[in-house]
Amino acid sequence: MAPMSKKLVIKVTAGADAPERCSQAFTVAAVAVASGVEVSLWLTGESSWFALPGRAAEFELPHAAPLPDLLESVLAAGTVTLCTQCATRRGIVQEDTVPGVRIAGAQVFVSEIMADGVQALVY
């Protein structure tokens, strides 16, 4: 049996446009954090909006954990990154984001996913 990866990098590309896929990404990230896995959650595409205060609270999906709670748990014990290009296209700057969210680009993402002991998922 292969050893468990030491880090999980999750890129979520969906937001309110694909709520189930979005919720799955946040749920997996939060469960992994709660399980003691090092987690890096990347907000790209339409999920970029969740880097802004209050936006996660606007997300609704029946029978799903509240997105603000999931985001808060990942921020508390993991890393949340907003894609640089995605932020720029939406006019989002660092000062606009939820405390703890960083803005970084593809070079940082590639560096994270290519490290030893990393599992990457894209939703």
Q: What is the pLDDT of residues 68-82, one digit of tens each?
A: 999 999 999 999 999
If you count DSSP H runs as helices and E runs as strands, how many of each does the chain have, helices first? 4, 5
Q: Taking 90 as the threshold, does the pLDDT of residue 23 lie above it?
A: yes
Phi and psi based region of residue 54 (left: phi greater than 0; alpha: psi -120 to 50; beta: remaining): left
Does residue 33 contact residue 73 with C-beta atoms inside 8 Å? yes
Q: What percent of the chain has pLDDT over 70?
A: 96
Would you state the pLDDT for residue 6? 87
Would you state the pLDDT for residue 5? 56
Would you state the pLDDT for residue 76? 97
- Give 47-70 pLDDT, tens digit per residue: 999 999 999 999 999 999 999 999
CA distance 39 to 30: 8
Would you state the pLDDT for residue 70? 98
Give me the DSSP letters along 79-94.
Answer: EEEEEHHHHHHTT--G
CA-based nearest residue to 68, from 47, 80, 54: 54
Would you state the pLDDT for residue 92? 98
Q: Taking 80 as the threshold, does the pLDDT of residue 94 lie above it?
A: yes
Would you state the pLDDT for residue 3? 52
Mean pLDDT of 28-55: 98
**Mean confidence (pLDDT) of the chain:** 96
